[in-house]
Structure 1
Amino acid sequence: MKKLNGEVLVLIGSTGGIGSAILEEVAGDSVKLALASNQPDLLKEQAAAEEARGHKVFARELDVTDEAAVKSFLSDAKAQLGSLDTLINLAGLSIPGKVQDLDVEKFDLMMDVNVKGTFLTSKHFMNLVDVEKGGAIINFASMASKRANGGAPLYCAAKAAVTMMSQATQINAIEKNVKVSNVCPGAADSPFWGDRKVPRELFLKTKNVAEVIYFILTRESNVVIQDIEFESFDKMK
């Protein structure tokens, strides 16, 4: 296991429950952070907290569906922090409902945020990576990409697209010396659920998910975790 020492981590969707848990997980490591979120007030607080921990931070409000904004964010982050080492794509949303009850605007929104956002950040990250040093992309899919859920068909479709994009991106990314990991957690207890009535007490904790991310981050450079699935054992019982 290697140590994180001076690496630049780019967290897209950093202010969510899993993003916050990842920052707790790397709190004791010497990392630089590029943080992006569509929640500016929370982002400002998060950036200040990370700077207080001694981390160098670049933070900016970001719409992941806006290509010019994504390109600018990553370019400016590299200028401020140095080489970009790892991109963690956390931004996403879920809209529940049956296919026959959903409108096309909700379909477009799901695909834009979950799939287009992952595409845009991956594209511009790879074009900024120091090929000699290499880098890594960690994409967040879901167990919903592997197992159909009639209550969230759009989410299943979007995350299945992220899973296949991750696998294809790895083929493209070899020439950039970039490793791509596709992470498929089961349901996690986080603000993601809003006021939906779900059994959150049975779900994974955000710390559980962050520990898996840290496991990926700290593998030796000759190892790539291509696809990883994990679930709450309590929910399986």
Structure 2
Amino acid sequence: MESTLKGLTALVTGASGGLGAHFAEFLAAQGASVALAARRVSMVEARAEAIRAAGGQAIALPLDVSDAAAIGPAMDEVEARLGPIAILVNNAGVGGEGLALEISVEDWDRTFDVNVRGVFLCAREAARRMIASGVAARGQARIVNIASIHTFEPKGGLAAYCASKAAVGMMTKVLAREWARQMIAVNAICPGYIETDINADWFKTEGGQKQLKSFPRRRLAEAEDLDAALLMLAGPAARAITGTLITIDDGQSLS
């Protein structure tokens, strides 16, 4: 497997911390020029600077993926400063906690605005640019959506989140089908529980510890466990992979 993404430009949404920050740093280490996007640019500036200090190429930019009008200008900036987008990692997401009888309409809508609408809008805008720039015709166009084991597994108290990630899973397949002849590979990674800002507090509670002990290996997975799949789906190895959802959960869904 080729292990370099040298010469390619990647955009990672939700890159202010957690998996997004890790993905950006990993892609940069593989040679990609990386744009780190988040709602608050101050949250990604230091990470972009760290990548540059390590010899990589990276920029930071503000982007709220639920703001349709902001996506095009953000990608304009990426392409002006780094070159045509070849890789989009659709990572931005929110938790969407709340029992079905209690969650507010506003919280439900916010979950879908970010987790579903934002993923769709970013994917569509990136695909248009991949086609226009010739990246797609060269067989380099890659869209990697970050879903969840809750794309498939129900979890009480997470109706909005589970429904949104199930939507991302089906969207991934539909976009892969629609853009197959344009040679845009659209796939998704479905991680299990990895400690991030979204869930760190939960796993410190009694309920969180009980859940942790229910996992077959009684541990959380680590961000690095996703690296091989991300590299495969973002690089040359995905030449014949599209419409695929890859679950990486350390066996958690077996519980």
Deviates further, 101-110 or 190-199:
190-199
Deviations 1:83-106 (A, max 9, x none): 211100110011222100111001
TM superposition shift of 1:4? 1.5
Taking the aligned partners of 1:146 and 1:235, their CA distance within structure 2 comes to: 9
Deviations 1:176-203 (A, max 9, x none): 3210011111111122214223246721
Question: Where in structure 2 are there 5+ consecutive unaligned residues?
Answer: 213-217
Tell me, yes or no, if structure 1 residue 9 matches structure 2 residue 14: no
Q: TM-score, normalised by structure 2?
A: 0.86
Deviations 1:134-184 (A, max 9, x none): 401000111101011112111000000111111001112124321001111
Taking the aligned partners of 2:123 and 2:68, their CA distance within structure 1 comes to: 11
User: For residue 213 of structure 1, what is the aligned residue in structure 2?
Assistant: 230
Matches within 5 A, 1:33-44: 33-44=34-45
Taking the aligned partners of 2:234 and 2:64, their CA distance within structure 1 comes to: 25
Deviates further, 183-192 or 213-222:
213-222
Question: 2:142·2:233 contact (CA, 8 Å) conserved in 1?
Answer: no
User: For residue 32 of structure 1, what is the aligned residue in structure 2?
Assistant: 33
1:96 counterpart SS class: coil
Provide the aligned length of Structure 1 versus Structure 2: 237
TM superposition shift of 1:235? 7.8
Taking the aligned partners of 2:49 and 2:228, their CA distance within structure 1 comes to: 23
User: For residue 47 of structure 2, what is the aligned residue in structure 1?
Assistant: 46
Report sequence identity in percent. 27
User: For residue 167 of structure 1, what is the aligned residue in structure 2?
Assistant: 173
1:101 counterpart SS class: coil
Question: 1:126·1:178 contact (CA, 8 Å) conserved in 2?
Answer: yes
TM superposition shift of 1:26? 3.5
CA shift in 2, pair 1:87/1:18, >3 Å: same
Tell me, yes or no, if structure 1 residue 182 matches structure 2 residue 188: yes
Matches within 5 A, 1:187-206: 187-196=193-202, 197=205, 198-199=208-209, 202-206=219-223
Matches within 5 A, 1:51-90: 51-90=52-91
Taking the aligned partners of 1:59 and 1:20, their CA distance within structure 2 comes to: 11
Instruction: Give the RMSD, CA atoms, in angstroms.
Output: 1.9
Letter in 2 for 1:209: L
CA shift in 2, pair 1:206/1:63, >3 Å: same
Letter in 1 for 2:166: A
Which structure has more relative contact order (CA 8 Å, sep 6+)? It is 1
TM superposition shift of 1:40? 2.5
Taking the aligned partners of 1:42 and 1:184, their CA distance within structure 2 comes to: 25
Letter in 1 for 2:163: A
Q: TM-score, normalised by structure 1?
A: 0.92
Taking the aligned partners of 1:115 and 1:25, their CA distance within structure 2 comes to: 25
2:85 counterpart SS class: coil
TM superposition shift of 1:236? 4.9
Letter in 2 for 1:231: D
Question: 2:29·2:56 contact (CA, 8 Å) conserved in 1?
Answer: no
User: For residue 143 of structure 1, what is the aligned residue in structure 2?
Assistant: 149
User: For residue 132 of structure 1, what is the aligned residue in structure 2?
Assistant: 137
Question: 2:37·2:61 contact (CA, 8 Å) conserved in 1?
Answer: yes
TM superposition shift of 1:221? 5.1
From the two aligned structures, give the one with the greater strand fraction: 1
User: For residue 215 of structure 2, what is the aligned residue in structure 1?
Assistant: none
Question: 2:24·2:36 contact (CA, 8 Å) conserved in 1?
Answer: no
Question: Where in structure 1 are there 5+ consecutive unaligned residues?
Answer: none
Letter in 2 for 1:232: D
Letter in 1 for 2:233: I
Taking the aligned partners of 1:188 and 1:236, their CA distance within structure 2 comes to: 16
CA shift in 2, pair 1:51/1:195, >3 Å: same
2:224 counterpart SS class: helix
1:25 counterpart SS class: helix
